Amino acid sequence: MIIPYDNCCDGRNAGSYGNTRNCLACGDVEGKFDILFNRVRAIQKKSGNFDLLLCVGNFFGSTPDAEWEEYKTGIKKAPIQTYVLGANNQETVKYFQDADGCELAENITYLGRKGIFTGSSGLQIVYLSGTESLNEPVPGYNFSPKDVSSLRTMLCTTSQFKGVDILLTSPWPKYVGNFGNSSGEVDTKKCGSALVSSLAMGLKPRYHFAALEKTYYERLPYRNHVVLQENAQHATRFIALANVGNPEKKKYLYAFSIVPMKLMDAAELVKQPPDVTENPYRKSGQEASIGKQIPAPVEESACQFFFDLNEKQGRKRSSTGRDSKSPHPKQPRKPPQPPGPCWFCLASPEVEKHLVVNIGTHCYLALAKGGLSDDHVLILPIGHYQSVVELSAEVVEEVEKYKATLRRFFKSRGKRCVVFERNYKSHHLQLQVIPVPVSCCATDDIKDAFITQAQEQQIELLEIPEHSDIKQIAQPGAAYFYVELDTGEKLFHRIKKNFPLQFGREVLASEAILNIPGKSDWRQCQISKEDEETLARRFQKDFEPYDFTLDD
């Protein structure tokens, strides 16, 4: 359900939906940050606050950097959480140092080269930075057929896939004007990207925003199904936006409200607007020409995607997939190495090997030293990674496998487990897994204890969607604290200055949960090496029936 502002769309009302997100989309900013953000402030003063601003096209321009420096240094601040696409030319590549996305300034985040961003409400946004190039390797301001193919494969191969809420690209999709209202001076048969058309065809976004043509064009909504041949599906609205502060006063800012697809009633979702048209990318012969530019999906050495970790079906190809017949099988990558001594890299001499209770392909389990209980364990990557945000795709997959297996293991023993990570003053990722007897308290009690103690210590704990990935919220290098409950509920805190190192333990050791306040500091809970070895052997024996590594 989409509820437009200022008669931008079809004027439907949100009714009783309580999960509506109020959003703004913007065309080429081209370095005119003050004009944009002053306009946003005026709109918010008139219409109330919006949840986020999405910028497509050229965010930076050829103008001097003085205005940007004021935002970068914190002298000025964007009035709303702003997400931007990357460079479309060599001149602006310098502003986007991290291909996986990063914070450019307070409230201004670069999404990355390509991927999926899931907001706190469950709103799913797919983004593709740059302009089209059919040649490999592509420079930092282009995307290739392989980039588009990997995005389509990652999402569209799941049986549950219906589409995405929003698609952000800088170029227009080629042929978007077919069957639609006039696109003005822009000839959509010649202008735009056929790769973007292919992406829009496969992802079925409810909203697709683009820019670069310095004009405003709101196409009539189009169908994503063939009438009388396929079940009804939601419609797509394509909106191209002009450049900020253009003298012709063409529309560059678009306000709309949307309820995330995952939260909508199916019948409501597929209601067709009265002015809906045929799909512009289905014209005979055209679909084939678009498809020819998309090669078969290939394995990528690094993951640049943000995706729902608990919905893995179809997201990752088997390592014994189509390359299995190759005479030169791909060698596994060597795990990242630490710059110096590390207590947790499995190959390091500093590791206390007697605490290790299970070893997988990319991760291992170890008893926590000075644990809150005899079965308090850590999930650790074998290679050197500082946080979950930095993990490669295959390591993420095994981390999730360990978490799911430990949940089953502890459930069989009358316990629910709490998982937390503190990426602050630590050098190697440690996922703490603490079992809590069901008889002690309910999951809601655990959640309330974290929230209450956070408030008492002026720590802002935010609840994030169950199926979201921390990579969607925290950028590499950012400090944070994160806790996951057995229900899948997640709480997150972005650490800006100081943070109590024992916060997670303090909450779990409190009277409200385990009622062992004296164990909040691990250093006060250490036992002899012989006792640690005994506990490790016991855990190994108990865990063996659940050990998935024995199946490999």
Model pLDDT for residues 166-224, shown as the tens digit of each residue: 999 999 999 999 999 999 999 999 999 999 999 999 999 999 999 999 999 999 999 99
Residue 313 is predicted with a pLDDT of 30
**Which of 197, 183, 196, 184 minimizes the C-alpha distance to 286?**
197
Average pLDDT, the chain: 84
Residue 36 is predicted with a pLDDT of 97
Q: Which CATH class is domain 21-270?
A: alpha beta
Interval 219-236: pLDDT, tens: 999 999 988 788 899 999
Contact at 8 Å (CB) between 185 and 158?
A: no
Report which DSSP code applies to 260.
Answer: -
* Residue 444 clears pLDDT 60, i.e. is over it: yes
Residue 317 is predicted with a pLDDT of 31
**Which of 176, 245, 237, 179 minimizes the C-alpha distance to 214?**
245
For the ranges 51-65, 206-220, 288-302, 456-470, the lowest mean pLDDT is seen at 288-302
Residue 107 is predicted with a pLDDT of 94
**Most confident segment among 154-158, 297-301, 337-341:** 154-158
* Residue 528 clears pLDDT 50, i.e. is over it: yes
Segment 453-478 mean pLDDT: 81
Residue 320 is predicted with a pLDDT of 33
* Residue 257 clears pLDDT 60, i.e. is over it: yes
Q: Which residues contact 250 (CB under 8 A, 6 or more apart)?
A: 214, 215, 216, 242, 243
Residue 202 is predicted with a pLDDT of 94
Pairing state between β 363-367 and 356-359:
antiparallel
Q: State which fold the 353-546 domain adopts.
A: HIT family, subunit A (3.30.428)
Which amino acid is it at 177? G
* Residue 77 clears pLDDT 60, i.e. is over it: yes
CA distance 522 to 178: 66
* Residue 436 clears pLDDT 80, i.e. is over it: yes
* Residue 22 clears pLDDT 50, i.e. is over it: yes
* Residue 461 clears pLDDT 80, i.e. is over it: yes
**Which of 264, 262, 259, 257 minimizes the C-alpha distance to 23?**
257
Segment 131-135 mean pLDDT: 91
Interval 486-495: pLDDT, tens: 988 899 999 9
Residue 422: its H or E element:
strand 415-423
For the ranges 199-213, 337-351, 360-374, the lowest mean pLDDT is seen at 337-351
Q: Do domains 21-270 and 353-546 have the same CATH topology?
A: no
* Residue 462 clears pLDDT 70, i.e. is over it: yes
Q: Which two tokens stand for residue 264?
A: 């909508």
**Most confident segment among 122-131, 383-392, 467-476:** 122-131
* Residue 291 clears pLDDT 80, i.e. is over it: no
CA distance 504 to 494: 14
For the ranges 283-287, 309-313, 503-507, the lowest mean pLDDT is seen at 309-313
Integer CA distances (angstroms), 525 to 410, 418, 501, in order: 22, 19, 16
CA dihedral (362, 366, 368, 372) positive or negative:
positive
Instruction: Give me the residue spans of the domains in the chain.
Output: 21-270, 353-546
Segment 258-269 mean pLDDT: 92
3 state SS of 543? helix
**Which of 454, 427, 552, 549 minimizes the C-alpha distance to 510?**
454
CA distance 490 to 467: 9
* Residue 349 clears pLDDT 60, i.e. is over it: yes
* Residue 127 clears pLDDT 90, i.e. is over it: yes
What is the band of 525 on the pLDDT scale with cuts at 50, 70, 90?
confident
* Residue 160 clears pLDDT 90, i.e. is over it: no
Residue 497 is predicted with a pLDDT of 80
> Edge-to-edge strand order for the sheet containing 217-218?
114-118, 124-128, 164-169, 205-210, 237-240, 217-218
Residue 469 is predicted with a pLDDT of 74
* Residue 327 clears pLDDT 90, i.e. is over it: no
